[in-house]
Amino acid sequence: MNLTENEKLLEWSAKNYSEQIKKDFFQDNNNTSYYVKRDNLHCIEEYSWKTVLELNHKLNEVWAENSVMMEVQKTVLVTIMKAHQEKKETNKTSIDEYILPEYVYVF
């Protein structure tokens, strides 16, 4: 993935960042319990998309009602396509493909 794509993602996060978003993500609250009720909408599903449109449709299922994510959706789609192409062309492997990173958890 080239730097431009990284920069676009960073630009988006910087522009849309807010204290409330941060608070929501880090669950910065004083609730009496930290459990979250599950919706169980995605326990099992098909994952065989072939085109950008099909992937876009899958992302819509998760992000359709989130305007901030909708804003970055196109960039994400392009990045996914470009990254795959780059991997194919350069046969580039990630740093941790062969050896588990020593002190970093793999997310």
Q: Does 49 bind other proteins (CB under 8 A)?
A: yes
Cβ-Cβ contacts under 8 Å for 1 (sequence gap 6 or more): 79, 82, 83, 86
Give yes or no for a contact between 55 and 80, defined as CB atoms under 8 angstroms apart.
Answer: yes
Question: DSSP state, 26?
Answer: T
Alpha carbon distance 80, 16 (integer Å)? 21
| 89 binds other proteins per the rule CB under 8 A | no
Q: Counting contacts by CB under 8 A, is residue 86 touching other proteins?
A: yes
Residues that bind other proteins (CB under 8 A): 1, 5-6, 9-10, 12-14, 16-17, 21-22, 24-27, 32-38, 40, 42-49, 55, 58-59, 61-63, 68-69, 72, 76, 79-80, 83-84, 86-87, 92, 94, 96-107
